[in-house]
């Protein structure tokens, strides 16, 4: 039996534009998904999930297509929860050259699902790491990141960048641009996360931005400007200039809003943070609902968000420099 964990992450700059080859800057945070894997003596998968967003459930199924999961929850929920695990296990089987391997998989996550904090990447990274170890193969974080990216690419039907999986596998702050991935030597940041309790549909949101970009030159220009912001944001992050970092986050949120991926509740949280004196605030991830990230060294933003109707959860997040690890 092997247990591995991997961190969630948030985007400081560049979500959506990164899908079109622009740079993005993201930071791993101290909220992790933990996956325990135990080899079975048949080729079945049994997935037990316990996390913040889903009520716990257990599902067991065989490898043959006709062996559907036998469980009393909706199909879309099962697909969402098991799609990544399924594909992650396939990657582990491939890496270990053990196509018939079966596993009992237990997932515990502190990361809200589909809320812009990369819960799926963290689960995928931890699952690949644990399952390969269980089969006697030791992958580097870079190899895990690459295999996890293939999983996201497949499950999200091509709508995935390498940011989430690389950041979750390596930890710390990262810059991703196309196939280039780099760890950044970032200072500790006073991050506050607000969560509206909802989730966005990443595929639909990415498709919406693509449509706008294909229809209007000014939307394509907006995507390019998000890339410029991420380039500047990287420099400012490395300099540790929090004031300017906040200004750039505000700007990035405005552009994401123009691209149609914010929402009333995300805007409300962003404005509550700004009114409370945050240095800057923006949505993180695909948008549509989920989380915002604000920069504030004081308690003011946390207090303001805590009392904001529509904000379900508030927490302070620290940069997590440790990526995937065995527990
Ligand atoms: O919501 P998340 O954390 O899955 O982020 C999605 C960010 C996008 O740029 C829209 C897609 C991607 O994979 O980079």
Q: What is the CATH number of the domain that holds 10?
A: 3.30.230.10
Domain match, 241 and 157 both: no
Confidence check: pLDDT of 260 > 70: yes
Q: Dump pLDDT digits (tens) for 6-16.
A: 999 999 999 99
Q: Dump pLDDT digits (tens) for 270-327.
A: 999 999 999 999 999 999 999 999 999 999 999 999 999 999 999 999 999 999 999 9
Domain match, 154 and 203 both: no
C-alpha radius of gyration, the chain, whole number: 19
Ligand 1 atom closest to 156 (CA):
13
Using CB distances shorter than 6 Å, the residues near ligand 1 are: 15-16, 18-19, 116, 118, 160-161, 163-164, 202, 206, 285-286
Domain match, 92 and 224 both: no
Of 140, 166, 184, the residue that ends a domain is 184
Report how many domains make up the chain: 2
Residue 175 lies in a domain: yes
Q: Which residue has the tokens 């003596």?
A: 41
Average pLDDT value for residue range 185-212: 93
Ligand 1 atom closest to 160 (CA):
13
Question: Probe ligand 1: pick from 20, 202, 210, 230, max atoms within 8 Å of CB?
Answer: 202
Query: Which two structure tokens, joined as six digits, stand for 86?
Result: 């399924």
Domain match, 31 and 142 both: yes
Closest residue CA from atom 13 of ligand 1: 160
Comparing 66-70, 115-119, 129-133, 199-203, the range with the smallest average pLDDT is 66-70
Give the Å distance between the CA of 56 and the centre of ligand 1.
Answer: 25
Question: Probe ligand 1: pick from 164, 174, 179, max atoms within 8 Å of CB?
Answer: 164
Domain match, 14 and 149 both: yes
Q: Which of 51, 164, 250, 320 is catalytic?
A: 164
Domain match, 128 and 204 both: no
Neighbours of 311 (CB within 10 A): 20
Residue 74 lies in a domain: yes
Ligand 1 atom closest to 15 (CA):
9
Residue 325 lies in a domain: no
Range of the domain at 74: 2-184
The pLDDT-based confidence of 161 (bands split at 50, 70, 90) is: confident
Q: Are 298 and 196 in contact (CB under 8 A)?
A: no
Give the Å distance between the CA of 129 and the centre of ligand 1.
Answer: 22
Q: Dump pLDDT digits (tens) for 57-77.
A: 566 666 554 455 555 455 555
Comparing 49-53, 142-146, 193-197, 274-278, the range with the smallest average pLDDT is 49-53
228: annotated active-site residue = no
Could you list the beta-strand ranges (E) of the chain.
2-13, 24-39, 45-51, 57-61, 103-109, 173-177, 180-184, 191-195, 280-283, 291-295, 313-317, 325-326
Residue 173 lies in a domain: yes
Of 169, 184, 199, the residue that ends a domain is 184
Side-chain half-sphere exposure of 154, counting CA atoms within 13 A: 15
Q: Are 25 and 177 in contact (CB under 8 A)?
A: no
Question: Probe ligand 1: pick from 13, 163, 212, max atoms within 8 Å of CB?
Answer: 163
Q: Phi first, then psi: what are they for 110, rounded to 5°?
A: -100, 5
Domain match, 228 and 180 both: no
The CATH number of whichever domain residue 279 belongs to comes to 3.30.70.890
Residue 324 lies in a domain: no
Domain match, 222 and 274 both: yes
Ligand 1 atom closest to 16 (CA):
9
Q: Which residue has the tokens 């009392």?
A: 307
Domain match, 35 and 145 both: yes
Residue-level pLDDT at 114: 77
Domain match, 158 and 271 both: no
């Amino acid at each position: 039996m092997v247990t591995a964990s991997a961190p969630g992450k948030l985007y400081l700059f560049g979500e959506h534009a990164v899908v079109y080859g622009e740079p993005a800057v993201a930071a791993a945070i101290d909220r992790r998904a933990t996956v325990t894997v135990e080899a079975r003596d048949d080729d079945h998968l049994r997935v037990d999930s316990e996390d913040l967003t889903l009520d716990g459930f257990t599902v067991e199924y065989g490898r043959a297509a006709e062996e559907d999961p036998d469980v009393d929850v909706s199909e879309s929920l099962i697909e969402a929860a098991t799609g990544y695990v399924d594909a992650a296990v396939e990657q582990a089987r491939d890496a270990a050259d053990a196509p018939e391997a079966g596993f009992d998989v237990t997932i515990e996550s502190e990361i809200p699902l589909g809320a812009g904090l990369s819960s799926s990447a963290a689960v995928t990274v931890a699952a690949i790491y644990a399952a390969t170890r269980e089969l006697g193969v030791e992958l580097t974080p870079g190899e895990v990141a690459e295999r996890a990216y293939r999983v996201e690419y497949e499950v999200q039907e091509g709508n995935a960048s390498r940011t989430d999986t690389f950041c979750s596998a390596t930890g710390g702050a990262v810059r991703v641009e196309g196939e280039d991935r780099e760890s950044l030597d970032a200072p500790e940041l006073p991050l506050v996360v607000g969560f509206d309790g909802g989730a966005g549909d990443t595929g639909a949101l990415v498709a919406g931005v693509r449509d706008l970009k294909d229809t209007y030159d000014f939307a394509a220009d907006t995507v390019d400007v998000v890339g410029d912001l991420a380039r500047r944001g990287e420099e400012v992050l490395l300099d540790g200039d929090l004031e300017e970092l906040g200004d750039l986050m505000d700007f990035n949120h405005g552009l994401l809003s123009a691209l149609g991926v914010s929402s009333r509740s995300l805007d409300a949280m962003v404005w509550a943070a700004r009114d409370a004196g945050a240095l800057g605030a923006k949505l993180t991830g695909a948008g549509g609902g989920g989380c915002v990230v604000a920069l504030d060294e004081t308690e003011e933003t946390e207090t303001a968000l805590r009392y904001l109707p529509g904000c379900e959860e508030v927490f302070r997040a620290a940069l997590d420099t440790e990526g995937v690890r065995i527990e």
